[in-house]
Each structure stands twice: as C-alpha cells, then as structure tokens.
Amino acid sequence: MSQFWSPSVRDLEPYVPGEQPQIDQLIKLNTNEHAIGPSPRALEAIRQATSERLRLYPDPSGVRLKEAVAKRYGLVREQVFVGNGSDDVLHLAFFTFFRQARPLLFSDLTYGFYPVFCQLHGIAHHVVPVDASFRIRVEDYLGQGHPQAGGIIIANPNAPTGIALPLQDIERVLVGNPEAVVLIDEAYVDFGGQSAATLIERYPNLLVVHTLSKSRALAGLRVGYAMGNAKLIEGLERVKNSVNSYPLDQLALAGATAAIEDDAYFEAACQQVIQTRQWLSTELESLGFEVLPSSANFVFARHPEHDGAALAQWLRERAILVRHFSYHRIDQFIRITVGTSDQCESLIQALKACVNP
C-alpha cells in the first residue's frame, strides 16, 4: 500500500514508454526500433555466450565492450562508460553531474525521460522553448536571458522532431559553458547527424551518450554507453559501483561487442533506413503533410486538415501503430518510425484513404 512508500515516491510521475503489444501482423512504427535486424555476427556472439559460463558473474567493467567502442571512436577505454541501455547511462549521468545549485537546461520538446530524472533526484531545471520551426536556438544556452547553466542536455538529433544541430552549434554551447557538463544524447546520430565524439579531446565538460537500441538494432539487448573525458567517466563509475556492479549481463556484453565491431553491416543497414526515410517523407508531403527535416529513423509530420490524435487512431484501426503525444505545441503531429519499405508503403496507402477518401 502506498502508505509504505517513501514520501518522494508518492509524487513521482514516471516516464511512459511506447506500447509493445504482443500482436502478430501489427505494423509497429511507434518506438523507433530499427527496421532491419541486428548484425548476424552479434547474434552469433550471443549464441556462443549462451553456455555453462553463465554460472559466473559477468565482467563488472565490460572491458572488451569499452575497448571496442574506444577503438571505433579513436578514444581509450578510460574515456568510455557502459550501461544497461542508454536510459541507465543517462540516469547515472543525471545523478553524477546535474545535482547542482544552478539549473540543468533542456528544451521543451525533447526526450520525455529528462524531466522524470529531474523529479526523481530533485534536480533544478529550466526548460528552454524551441523556436517556431521547432529548432533549438543555441543562443538560448549561452546565458543570455536564461539562468547560467549547472548542466545542459541536448538530444541531437532531437526527439521527437528528428531535427539535427550542426557540430559548430554544439561546439558553441561547449565553449559558452566551460563550468557545466554538456551532455549530448546521440540516440539517433547514426541516421544522418554529426557526432560530437570528435570533440571529446578538446572539451573536458562534454559527455556523448549512445545507445545500441536504434542504429544497431538491439533494443532488446539493453546496451548504451557514454564517451567523454576520463574524469567524467570516473565519476560515472563511482556512482554505478554504488548502485549495481553488474549492469550488463554476459550475453549483452558479447552481443554488443560484436555489433560495435561489425561496422560494415551497420553502415549498410543505416543507409537503407535513410533511403526509406527519404521516400516516406516525399510521399507524406505529396499527401499534404508538413514533415520536419529528419536526421533520425523517424519522421514527425502533421496534416493541415487532419487532427494528429485522429490520424493515429485511424492507423491503429488498420493495425498500424505510430506515436502521438498529447503535449502542447505538438499535439497535431504524429511520429512515424521508418520501417521497412513494405511497412512504409502500407502506411502511405492507409493515410491516402484517410486524407483523399
């Protein structure tokens, strides 16, 4: 009974993830999973790891995975932190860096978990509106007209808009806030954004967070990582080792390492998604939709004559799931994950029947 809950738990408003219905034949375009499966080498590594060795604890620091990530981004192992999905990494980062006297800054339209972590840990925060075209304005993060930041988090490309900031803009935020950790959540960067990982050597306040859930097609494995200055990583390790020594199991470590090492498969699979996204955006526009410019594996679109919630419901009745948010400024949009070409074709046919009956 809730009377047994700690007082702060009574007021929590947890994050609500997209639905995962267990229904066959559903066209599932609601949670930005990759349209194509994971690397066959990753699956083989998971099979190999399914052995009597599961009797043992996994490597608590995930050294092989850290080395694979470090090698791919031109870093050393001490600049990499690994966690149980990037939500876990983000949570630890909020606790490690953002419990400051000065507020954490983030955009009004961004990943819904950020305000939840703030509430959980009582983190002071200041919400910065995106502009009329749903873009993040870098000037707003440089201390003009807003409080001096105790920390900054930017999803780049942003969710749920898909709009990416160029690297020069990220660099301006870093230069303007040398006293604050600037966390760039790059969950979608591999679908057309520019990674800030190349700036890590120059900015000790930069933390870049990635997930294997989207571009590596391993949402079911739960692996994410952070890259940054060794001192930032050491802070994350301290907190992680005060919560859970083994956040990644042996299968996750094996599969994730093999996935990171299989760059050829990864590049080709992401290119395919980018091509389908271009086709999907063009088709939506020809049906009269406004489509925000996406650098992610989803598009965010609205129709001038059709309500967002009604469109999502129309699609749901035809066994196509997309995401609709009943939030201020974006309640007329639907967010559509870029599926396979067949799935996108079915989606377009269903929308055609709705907008040109």
Ligand X SMILES: *Cc1c(COP(=O)(O)O)cnc(C)c1O
Measured between alpha carbons, how far apart are the two ends of the chain, in Å? 52
| C-alpha Rg value of the chain to the nearest Å | 21
Q: Which residues of 129-146 are buried (b: 16+ CB within 10 A; e: fewer)?
A: ebeeebbbebebbbeeee
Length of the chain: 357
Among 116, 155, 200, 273, binds ligand X (CB under 6 A): 155
By C-beta, is 19 or 179 nearer to ligand X? 19
Q: Which member of 70, 77, 87, 180 binds ligand X (CB under 6 A)?
A: 87
CA angle 176, 120, 122 (to 5 degrees): 55
Q: How far is the CB of 300 from ligand X (least distance, A)?
A: 12
User: Minimum distance between the CB of residue 219 and ligand X, rounded to whole angstroms?
Assistant: 6
For position 315 contacting ligand X by CB under 6 A, the verdict is: no
* Region binding ligand X by CB under 6 A among candidate stretches 83-91, 252-260, 263-271, 285-293: 83-91
What are the helix (H) ranges across the chain? 7-10, 40-49, 63-73, 86-97, 113-121, 167-176, 230-240, 250-261, 263-286, 308-316, 341-355
Q: How far is the CB of 225 from ligand X (least distance, A)?
A: 9
The smaller minimum CB distance to ligand X, of residues 207 and 351, is found at 207
> Which one of residues 27, 29, 159, 299 is an interface residue with ligand X (CB under 6 A)?
159
Residues 206-245 as x/- pattern, contact with ligand X by CB under 6 A = -----x-xx----x----x---------------------
Max Cα–Cα distance, the chain, nearest Å = 61
* Dist. CA 215–CA 193, nearest whole Å: 12
- Please state the closest distance from residue 131 (CB atom) to ligand X, in A: 20
**205 close to 226: Cβ distance less than 8 angstroms:** no
Binding ligand X (rule: CB under 6 A), the pick from 185, 190, 261, 283 is: 185
**Which residue, 211 or 281, has its beta carbon nearer to ligand X?**
211
| Coil/strand/helix, residue 107 | strand
Give strand ranges (E) for 88-235: 104-107, 125-128, 151-155, 181-185, 206-211, 224-228
Going residue by residue from 32 to 71, which x/- string records binding to ligand X, judged by CB under 6 A? ----------------------------------------
Q: How many residues bind ligand X (CB under 6 A)?
A: 13
- Residue choice 97, 106, 111, 134 for contact with ligand X (CB under 6 A): 111
Residues forming the site for ligand X (CB under 6 A):
85-87, 111, 155, 159, 185, 187, 211, 213-214, 219, 224
